[in-house]
Amino acid sequence: MSSQQLTINFDRLADITQLPLPLQELLAAARKATADAYAPYSNFYVATAARVGEHIVTTTNQENASFPVGLCAERTLLSVLTTQYAHAPVEAIALSYHNRRAHADSHAPISPCGLCRQSLLEFEQRMGRPIPILMSGMTGEIIMLHAIKDLLPFSFSSHQLK
């Protein structure tokens, strides 16, 4: 047996003003889009934004009374990107949320769920290049990974299927 260590490099920023302007715009779009989420059951409004060239694409989570039917904002984003911007490089993705439950906090960074991590990772692999991802709340601290692969270091991928 051998013990090994895994290191993930990321940037921790105090607030949105520490980001370059294009990433500030991207994160601001994600934060604004939380208002468009459909989350009547959880009151947990999530939005994503992706910069594709000069465009910013936003999507939100979509809940459903039949809980397995809902979609996370990240997978909704991937559906839009692969159908509307199939050959355009994605420069970065931002994620934000607004927890509207009484006395809830929406200011700490949030990360994608496991299902979304796997979906985002395969998307990054298909694109053939690292995609930075910003994780935040409505205000406050931001965590920025320089590649989605760092969200899921021991991932399952197409390599295992070959």
So where are the chain's domains?
30-154
Annotated catalytic residue within 54, 74, 122, 141: 74
| Helix 73-84 with 114-127: angle, nearest 10 deg | 20
Global pTM value:
0.95
What CATH number is given for 30-154 in this structure? Answer: 3.40.140.10
- pLDDT one-digit tens code per residue, 89-105: 999 999 999 999 988 99
15: its two tokens = 């607030």
Is 74 a known active-site residue?
yes
Contacts of 101 (CB under 8 A, 6+ apart): 43, 44
- pLDDT one-digit tens code per residue, 8-62: 999 999 999 999 999 999 999 999 999 999 999 999 999 999 999 999 999 999 9
